[in-house]
Chain A
């Protein structure tokens, strides 16, 4: 304990030193520091306890991936865990032989790749567009409207799409009245990837722009003035000043998205899996749900979950390392 506890007078790297009083603590004993700081520890304790029970305990619980977990060999999950048989990598072997699992992996990766191309750049464009609107009133109005869907649940978002674009929705209605055969995008597995991306864009385009807008407002306006004086037009200013100014934020969000490559959202897919069918809508998370909880194959589901978590961790660490190599700040050089 004491090694990590020695008072650290350095501010964490990457943060400007906060103007706090100089610490005399280095020479104080642990006991006297405890007497001083116990209220702080007590305040952090309830939240820490909740995380212990609902985050770290299940994280440890992932070891049932190496068991033939059977809920009926004990009165509660703990007892069942203690009495279940250890089978090594058996669950993983079964998992990797399961074609349904690879379907889910393939769907997940396609959706991630598709959204990286057709979703990721949009908030950047919106931020640049909004930033170029001179009238504060117009900008404020558009912002408050496009942020709003971020606060809708996925149930609501899918509901809105069904009512607008579904078989009994507004679009189909208008097409029928105009004498066309309505097409129903909500149940078409071939266009499902476009549909989920459209839903994600509708929900989070505006919200995603916030962080870029903040980065834009941090760009030194004198750069623009100097460039304009040197005869750079608006597109050149965009290319040589705005985009480089956004680069650290773009890289940061890209890393975070890559680390999350195996999660594309959960409720969105659970909600629509029945309408378009398993082939198109099964992603890793829904696979875990349907394999483990619906069909009670707990060990297999845990193995899939653990696989996903491990790959995700590896991805984010790699992406961060690459970013550091490229001279960017990355995600956690901060503490």
Chain B
């Protein structure tokens, strides 16, 4: 598959920072263990090629979409479609989609769903994880079983649909939040962290007369910032990416989240229904090319993930592994 993707045309500009990893070295790397033999040149070159292809397979599409979204009509016509070499900086596509119309509204809806949903999910998941973090409390085993059983038995699509519509959530943005608000996987990850908080800390707080909620907010949470950040990202990404539930439950155009709008533009081939007003800015072409507008929508859809991601990334391994190992 890497071969296919990297075959996606010659790569005129190496995507921004993608340097070729690890050229063959003469001198030993200081981190190389003493017992390991010195690296063989063909093997090192092979690794370098594979890693470069992998990185290119991710970065080249992102680059092409970004450059095309900022290209003018002339540049797009010259390239015959997607643009790889930036020639100018033409933000008219972005001005168009953010001057009202479907995309602007969809970005608002998605932002609302993401913010409200992540808040609801995090609060409820943290509370439940804390409530389940003390073996020996009343009904602990039964309650834990109740939560973990969701891994084994699933509701089907049809009954879920009937329950959501039966509750009157059809065409409400709550239908994008409540059915998926609790991820038991995330709950288990947080719970594993909470159970590692030294019990001496909790006991001393209890002796000082702190209630459970106070212990949670003052002692346990500050010690678990990393895992909360990772789980918060998981939830936020889930809400931002919601697509199928919107197909199922949302009927009115003015409540479509961004993924639904992106799908209708790119995959279903509708032409972007933006406000239609010409762009009145000096040096900016009126009516930006459709392809640039479409690519601008793609960029807008990608951006939240790309922005939050670096802050949370270093905690990934910790979060994912605790979930997988500790269950």
Bound complex: CA A153 to CA B298 (Å): 11
Contacts of A37 in B (CB 8 A): 134, 137-138
Report A-chain residues with C-beta under 8 Å of the C-beta of B157: 285, 288-289, 292-293, 301, 305
Q: Which of A51, A138, A153, A171 interacts with B150 by CB under 8 Å?
A: A51
Which residues from B are CB-within-8-Å of A158?
Answer: 267
B248 proximity list for chain A (CB < 8 A): 293
Pair B320/A47 contact, Cβ less than 8 Å: no
Enumerate chain A residues within 8 angstroms of B42, measured Cβ to Cβ: none
Say yes or no: A214-B263 contact (C-beta < 8 A), given A305-B158, A335-B327.
no
B165 within 8 A of A: yes
CB-contact partner of B139 in A5, A126, A233, under 8 A: A5
* CA–CA, A21 and B135, complex, Å: 11
User: How many whole Å from A46's CB to the nearest CB in chain B?
Assistant: 5
A43-B29 in contact (CB<8A):
no
Q: How far is the CA of A214 from the CA of B237 in the complex (A)?
A: 23
Given contacts A47-B127, A144-B310, contact A153 B51 (CB under 8 A): no
Smallest CB–CB gap between B307 and chain A, Å? 11
Q: Say how far A265's CB is from chain B's closest CB, in angstroms.
A: 11
The answer to whether A302 and B51 have CB atoms under 8 Å apart is: no
Q: Which chain A residues border B135 with CB–CB below 8 Å?
A: 8, 11-12, 18, 20
A173 with B158: in contact, given A151-B305, A155-B262 (CB under 8 Å)?
Answer: no
Q: Whose C-beta in chain A lies nearest to the C-beta of B324?
A: A211
Task: Give the CA-CA distance A305 to B160 in the complex, in Å.
Answer: 11
> Which parts of A249-282 form the interface with B (CB within 8 Å)?
266-267, 270-272, 274-275
Find out whether the CB atom of A61 lies under 8 angstroms from the CB atom of B244: no
Q: Which of B21, B150, B157, B244 has the most CB of A within 10 A?
A: B157
The answer to whether A33 and B138 touch across the interface, beta carbons within 8 angstroms, is: yes
A201 / chain B contacts, CB cutoff of 8 Å:
1
Residue tally, chain B, CB below 8 Å to A: 118
B116 at the interface (CB under 8 A from A): no
Most buried by A among B8, B80, B158, B243: B158
- Distance in angstroms between the alpha carbons of A159 and B166 in the assembled complex: 34
B226 within 8 A of partner (CB): no
- Selecting from A97-105, A106-114, A222-230, A239-247, the interface stretch reads A222-230
User: Would you call A156 and B82 a contact (CB within 8 A)?
Assistant: no
Residues of A contacting B150 in the complex (Cβ-Cβ under 8 angstroms):
51, 55
Whether B147 pairs with A7 at a CB distance below 8 angstroms is: no
Measured CB to CB, the closest approach of chain B to A91, in angstroms, equals 11
Partner of A147, one of B29, B268, B316: B316
Closest beta carbon of chain A to B162's beta carbon, Å = 4
Residues of B within 8 Å of A318, CB to CB, are none
A179 at interface by CB-CB < 8 Å: no
Residue of A nearest to B242 (CB): A153
Q: B37 to A40, Cβ gap below 8 A?
A: no
- Give residues of chain A (131-161) contacting chain B, Cβ–Cβ below 8 Å: 132-136, 138, 141-142, 144-149, 151-156, 158-160
Alpha-carbon distance between A171 and B213 when the two chains are bound, in angstroms: 57
A77 to B309 alpha-carbon distance, docked (Å):
41
**Bound state CA distance, A185 and B91, in angstroms?**
32
Q: How far is the CA of A1 from the CA of B146 in the complex (A)?
A: 13
* Contact residue among A9, A41, A60, A214 (Cβ-Cβ distance under 8 Å from B138): A41
CB distance from A258 to the nearest CB of B (A): 14
Contact at B178–A50, with CB atoms within 8 Å? yes
Pair B317/A214 contact, Cβ less than 8 Å: yes
Which residues of A are found within 8 Å of B266, using beta-carbon distances? 155, 159, 162-163
Chain B residues with CB under 8 A of A305: 156-159
* Given A147-B316, A214-B321, A171-B9 contact (CB < 8 Å): yes
A46 to B131, CA, bound (A): 11
B interface vs A, CB < 8 Å?
1, 4-5, 7-10, 17-18, 21-22, 29, 31-33, 35-37, 47, 50-51, 54-55, 57-61, 64-65, 79-82, 84, 124-125, 127-128, 130-132, 134-144, 146-148, 150, 152-167, 178-182, 184, 187, 195-196, 198-199, 203, 211-213, 216, 237, 240-241, 243-244, 247-248, 259, 262-263, 266-268, 295, 298, 301-302, 305-306, 309-310, 313, 316-317, 320-321, 324, 326-327
21 A-B pairs within 8 Å (CB atoms) are namely A39-B131, A43-B212, A54-B179, A54-B180, A55-B155, A56-B155, A57-B163, A61-B160, A62-B156, A81-B162, A133-B47, A141-B21, A145-B55, A147-B316, A152-B241, A155-B267, A165-B4, A210-B321, A213-B317, A293-B157, A309-B154
The 8 closest A-B pairs by CB, nearest first: A305-B156, A61-B159, A58-B155, A44-B131, A153-B241, A47-B128, A43-B131, A77-B166
